[in-house]
Amino acid sequence: MLRPLVVLFLLLFAAIPTAWAQTQTLRLATLAPDGSPWMRELRAAAEQVKAETAGRVEIRYFPGGVMGNDQAVLRRIRQGGQLQGGVLTSSELALVYPDASAYTLPFLFTDWTEVDRVRPKVDPLLAKGFAERGFHMLGASGVGFAYLMSAKPMAGVDDVRRAKLWVPQNDAITEMTFREGGANPIPLPIGDVFTSLQTGMVDMVANTPAGAVALQWHGRLRSLFDLPLAYVVGFIVVDQRAWSRIAPADQAIVDRIFKAASARVDQTIRRDDAAALEAMKRQGLQVVTPTPADAEYFREVGRRVMVKLEAQQKVSPGVLAAIREAKAQP
């Protein structure tokens, strides 16, 4: 009577290693172009993964937006088959997991010291949240601090209120922030911004200096408001169904390699962002230091937005509490 059960167990345990022995291919899409810090590190990580797993795990990339914008990539991942993951912005991922936008809350961070205190505490909480929604977080890397940059001379709050200000499409938090501050936000896909700056449809943007240079916006921008608006983050996520097909030992290898790659991207981006700002200044960009009153005005806007987001449960209390606790540490 026990013999059929024994045979069944033997068949099951024989089948598991066979499935894991097959090469598992993860196809990841990103807007980052080849040659960017992201793609350099991602490609190096893929080579290391293939070597350390003896070819059991392969990672292929579709860079430069060839699979569409973040919204299209996320849809392809969730449909399954064509893509298993991607490097995605928090604004799109927040549609699936609202806490993905926690780091980009307006005026949350003032400098890199605060970021470095918060990320080790909060990254694991975000990874857990992604897992609960069907995604495995391979890594997260800061893209830098976004600043307000204008195609016109800028002196302070009044100029922001009068501006035709671009905000990323589907980025509800950024749009809410500027409406709260009395500005006129214009949501557009990022690919439309260059032409919109040329035509005057928008005359103010929020981006990192390196992002402005990479997207060729810098030639149209004349001034930068020297107050960090948001800490921009990109997440490397993989669909949990695809991740579960990888053997646990190989999962550990992939996790380790991508965590290290993400940390290197963090440091490279900081250097590139500083270099991009210096290059823009040499080309005539005016860096405007806000008055104490203007700085406090924007921070108060950030606090009001935070209260609204908490009330609407757009960001979980646990994640916000962890951020505040980490920021308060000496």
What is the C-alpha separation between 42 and 36, in angstroms, rounded? 10
β pairing state of 184-188 and 286-288: unpaired
On the 0-12 / 13-18 / 19+ scale of CB atoms within 10 A, 245 is middle
Eight-state DSSP code of residue 56: S
DSSP state of 223: E
Helix, strand, or coil here: 164? strand
- In angstroms, how far apart are the furthest CA atoms of the chain? 86
Helices 292-311/172-180 angle, 10° precision: 130
- For position 21, what pLDDT does the model report? 53
Superfamily of domain 3-328: Bacterial extracellular solute-binding protein, family 7 (3.40.190.170)
Q: What is the pLDDT of residue 91?
A: 80
- Nearest Cα residue to 246 out of 82, 58, 30: 58
CB 232 within 8 A of CB 210: no
Q: Where do the domains of the chain lie?
A: 3-328
pLDDT 10s digit of each residue in the chain, 330 long?
434 333 333 333 334 444 555 789 999 999 888 888 889 999 999 999 999 999 999 999 999 889 988 888 999 998 877 899 999 988 889 889 999 999 999 999 999 999 999 999 999 999 999 999 999 999 999 889 999 999 999 988 999 999 999 998 878 888 999 999 889 899 998 889 999 999 999 999 999 999 899 888 999 999 999 999 999 999 999 999 999 999 999 999 999 999 999 999 999 989 999 999 999 999 999 999 999 999 999 999 999 998 998 888 888 889 999 999 999 888
Q: In this predicted structure, what is the pLDDT of residue 192?
A: 92
Residues 6+ apart with CB under 8 A from 253: 49, 52, 53, 57
The pLDDT value given to residue 108: 92
